[in-house]
Amino acid sequence: MTKITVDHLARGAFVYIRQSTADQLLHNQESQRRQYGLADRAKQLGWAKVEVVDDDLGRSGGGITRPGFERLLAAICEGRVGAVFAIEASRLARNGRDWHTLIEFCGLVGTVIVDEDGIYDPRNSNDRLLLGMKGTMSELELSLFRQRSQEALKQKARRGALFLGVAAGYVKTGHDRIEKDPDQRVQDALRIVFAKFAALQSVRQVHVWLREEGIALPTARHCTAEGRGIVWRLPLYNTVHNILTNPVYAGAYAFGRTTSKVSVEEGRKRVRRGVRRPLAEWDVLLKDQHEGYISWAEFERNQRVIANNATGKGSALARGAARHGELLLAGLLRCGHCGRKMYVAYGGKAGRYLCGGALVNHGAQRCISFGGLRADHAVGTEVLRVLKPLGIDAAVKALDAQAGETSGAKRQLELALQRARFEVAHARRQYDAVEPTNRLVASELERRWNERCRSCTGSRTRLPPSRRRSQYRWARLSGSS
């Protein structure tokens, strides 16, 4: 008690409260109550003015920006803080920079630090030594926790038994295995994505085709109350790209495909998560772990095609995806002088091939420029000569592929309609089971039933007219919608 003076009591007492994650906020309620209880202890020690700083609930103390901690430091520098209350040193900081900054400022203005073990005056050499040791132990504790948890995760991943999340198209069986989703609509939708990429050789074109055909893709949704579920949405580009680049669909188990990059910005640590790593740098890759939608060889071919299409990533070796335009060799020709990819320019009667790399990068003259008619004619003639014997087979295969695409898209729409009918029937059974006099429940179930019926009607209108009539006759006979 001798460390608390009248000067300390004349200023305010600041109670700093922090929990590192949202999960701790939800489940570790006792720790939160203990920290808020420090306000009562401050009043018992004689402080009349007590301010609680809880801006950093859900934030880590490992060095990221913390508005509550910065507000506390500002108040200390202004001389408004007589004591800083925290349940332990780790609540105030988990890194040496923040901890020693706090001790230094408290020592300059004469602010004491109070935790559950005692009262410390940073101007006292013994107390300052003890506070320094507490901060060092807190930082070491965090490092050990992180190291142990990461090693445990990696050990389980090396066995192929760690599943932090399950991709759409698979379901978890037991604790350490996954298998294909038994929902045939989910399986067919994913097969369509891989089949269209094999035909179009472009993620963007697959995405455009799916949107034009109105084909929704399954997306895994994780909800605390309901658990894991599947949501059907018209795909975004990232949805298609993630499906085509995820090795799980090739029957492989992978761990460590992404990493975190740490940088220092404005004196603070910034962590950028989800940075993709090359396949050779993945922590774990186990092939043939479960049934895949494609083979591993096809997965590797897909990755090479995607990499070659990424002309905007700065790679001079990327071929580029097939592009629209009159010229045949766009994106395929390279300059014989400098090796750069040749540009295409359209103007007048025909397009031209030109190398503008030297001009753009170094301000030098263009290496070469020539019209595209003769080059395209020469290459086109040679291609036709080679393909002529295969022309009939190629035409038959093209017709079969087109018919397969049409039937695949139609099947997806029919499966979507079947799912909509099931939801209508389910909503109707719920409505029929409720007591008619219970209007509070019946009105809500009636609204859900009507909503499912509208969704079913929308699914039917997306079918081709011939199939729509047959499905409508079936629905009238079955009385489902």
R_g (Cα) of the chain, nearest Å: 33
> Locate tokens 């006979």: which residue?
477
Strand 112-114, strand 119-120: pairing: antiparallel
Contacts of residue 38, defined as CB under 8 A and 6 or more positions apart, other chains included, come to 15, 17, 85, 86, 87, 114
Contacts of residue 74, defined as CB under 8 A and 6 or more positions apart, other chains included, come to none
Strand 284-286, strand 253-255: pairing: antiparallel
Candidate list 20, 90, 138, 459, residue with the active-site label: 20
Other Cβ atoms closer than 10 A to 98: 21
Other Cβ atoms closer than 10 A to 51: 17
- The residues facing 13 across adjacent strands are 50, 83
Phi, psi of 362 (to 5 degrees): -125, 0
CA atoms of 340 and 353, how far apart (whole Å): 12
C-alpha distances in Å from residue 83, one per residue of 46, 68, 96: 11, 16, 20
Strand 12-16, strand 81-85: pairing: parallel
Residue 247: name the closest of 320, 300, 194 by CA. Answer: 300
Query: Please, how many CA atoms are within 13 Å of residue 205, restricted to the half-sphere of its CB?
Result: 15
CA atoms of 430 and 426, how far apart (whole Å): 6
119-120: strand order across its sheet: 50-53, 12-16, 81-85, 112-114, 119-120
Residue 375, H or E segment: helix 372-387
Residue 14, H or E segment: strand 12-16
Residue 309, H or E segment: helix 296-309
Q: Please say whether the beta carbons of 75 and 14 come within 8 A.
A: yes
CA atoms of 425 and 419, how far apart (whole Å): 10
Q: Is 361 exposed, middle or buried (0-12, 13-18, 19+ CB in 10 A)?
A: exposed
Q: Please say whether the beta carbons of 61 and 95 come within 8 A.
A: yes
Q: What is the DSSP letter of 277?
A: -
Concerning whether 20 is annotated as a catalytic residue, the answer is yes
Strand 50-53, strand 112-114: pairing: unpaired
Give the residue numbers marked as catalytic.
20
